Copies of this chain bind each other. A is one copy, B any other.
Amino acid sequence: MERVINRRDLSFQLYDVLDVASLSAYPRFSEHDKASYEAVIDAAERLAMDKFADHAHKADENEPQYENGRVVMIPEVKEALSHYLAGGFHLAHRDESEGGMQLPLVISQAIAAIFTGANASTTAYPFLTIAAANLLSAYGSDAQKEKFLKPMLEGRFFGTMCLSEPQAGSSLADIRTKATPLPDGSYAIKGTKMWISAGDHDLAENIVHLVLAKIPGGPEGVKGISLFIVPKYQVDDEDRVGDSNDVALAGLNHKMGYRGTTNCMLNFGENDACRGYLVGVVHHGLGYMFHMMNEARIGVGLGATMMGYAGYLASLDYAKQRPQGRPVDAKDPASPPVPIIAHADVRRMLLAQKSYVEGALSLCLYCARLLDEAQQTEDADTKKRNLLLLDLLTPIAKAWPSEFCLEANKLGIQILGGYGYTRDYPLERLYRDNRLNPIHEGTNGIQSLDLLGRKVMAEKGLAFRLMMERIGDAIGEAKAYPVLEEQVAAMQGAVDLLSRVTVKLVTAAHEGKTEAFLANSHEYLLLMGHVVMAWMWLRQATVAAAKITDAVGDDRSFFAGKLMATRYFFTHELPKTGPQAALLASLDTTVLDMPNEGF
């Protein structure tokens, strides 16, 4: 792979669409400007291509092995991470006082995007660590921060999140891992955790597991879940890493893709010698974990986006270079073959990919931008509105890219034909890696229940109305450009459609028709996802329409491409919402009415 992102597009999204430069008005970012952002993105891209992309294929072909209770993996992973840590990229968003770069989240997400596109598997180790560190920053005690967070920030300890168990994948109410209070205030942890990404390795001095467990005697279900720090190795009072904390690697899962990231079954307390340290107060663990989960969900969406993006660019390069066939209306067999980018169906597959991956990137960066503003603003109302909107968009930012950027990879393979199906090209690996994203950090089915059953209903639909306001603003801005006339009308139509359907569904919910209300929640997720994506494209198109008149050369082509991708999304994709809305509005119960024995 020669590149995993179009830097021209990234600049457009960051500075032209999201006006990231204006964040410098906040004191925290006052020392930064576009030049400093670009410098760190340049450095990230160099490192990502030199030390991460280089072993993505090798790591896939040589997955980590379980040998004598330890994990053995190719050395390139540790080397890449040493450069990453030395460059301070794991501290991109951290305060300067902590040794960080004090960058806006939207920039640190752009950096994360580049590393993920280059090699998602290797990147997973520090990314999980960053998320765990963020959780400890928010909820850990000072002593816990000193003991566990500090070495994570120093790059000496890595982190994980341990939620699932073999009998309880998505259903956290049913976890069985026990935390029994000990006289010294710590807890004895006992149980088995499953699907733990980066759950074991020798990449760091220690691994800080953040573990959900139940204290005996607590409430049933999710209300009885507490959160614990459980290090792989004990850390003594002088902060020295010592003996095993009785966390045993029971086995590695052998996956279709994402093979470079260990995925583990871990046994805690097989010898009754596993100590955990309560984070915050008892029985509030799930809430703390969702701090990490929400971040992780947008991370999943961004990862899915970048696998799609890298695949799009690889298939684009191929399509420009590969000569094959002739135009449909010029069949002289003696004429030379044309590059396959000339064929309509190849162009369709490229445009579809472009509309998916650049649209998805736009949404993920928009979410980061919302959080930046929420964190920096001193206006309580702005903060609340941003966080509410972010809450609403999170399931979409997780699920939509994981569906459609996977589809992008499928199209990328198709463009390469037989070559795309071989392991000599990155497409099939990206497709396999990407297939994880609809599953982990809450399946897309769960995202759809979260979206419709919780987020849309929250505060009497306030978040939904906020989104509609913002889309209304975008429509208002787009109206200034006659070239966008059709898209403006279509966007308005889509908004009306979504509103009507939502009212219908919410009414059903209020009438107590819970099952019918949620029966087609996944369809609702797809519907709102497409409306949100149309909004993201309309925002981009508005900027492109404004800039194209004075643009020349490559810039002009770039803006023309943005306008055409918008047109593609509005003509080929957005109309799919029609049947979705009709199905939802009919409160169709086919899936409920099917008898089990009829399958």
Contact = CB atoms under 8 A, between A and B. Distances in A.
Contacts of A572: 523, 583, 588, 590
A557 B169 contact: no
A422 B350 contact: no
A351 interface: yes
Interface stretch (A143-151, A459-467, A573-581): A573-581
Contact of A591 (B325, B347, B598): B347
Contacts of A344: 515, 518-521, 591-592
Given A564-B590, A590-B564, A435 B445 contact: no
B440 A418 contact: yes
Interface stretch (A20-28, A101-109, A217-225): A217-225
Question: Interface size for chain A: under 10, 10 to 19, 20 to 34, or 35 or more residues?
Answer: 35 or more
Interface in A561-599: 561-562, 564-565, 567-568, 571-572, 575-576, 578-579, 582-583, 586, 588, 590-599
A588 B324 CA distance: 25
A432 B433 CA distance: 12
A411 to B, nearest CB: 10
A345 B417 contact: no
A405 interface: no
Q: Which of A173, A440, A560 lies at the interface centre, i.e. has the most chain B CB atoms within 10 A of its CB?
A: A173
Nearest to A438: B414
A351 B571 contact: no
A3 to B, nearest CB: 13
A484 interface: no
A522 B320 contact: no
A222 B326 CA distance: 13
A82 B92 CA distance: 62
Nearest to A403: B410
Interface of A: 164, 167-171, 173-174, 194-195, 219-223, 253-257, 316, 320, 323-329, 331, 333-334, 337, 341, 343-348, 350-351, 354, 410, 413-414, 417-424, 428, 431-432, 435-436, 438-440, 443-445, 448-449, 453, 514-515, 518-523, 554, 557-558, 560-562, 564-565, 567-568, 571-572, 575-576, 578-579, 582-583, 586, 588, 590-599
16 contacts: A168-B324, A171-B324, A194-B418, A253-B424, A255-B423, A255-B428, A328-B449, A345-B591, A347-B591, A347-B594, A354-B599, A557-B595, A561-B598, A562-B598, A564-B593, A575-B582
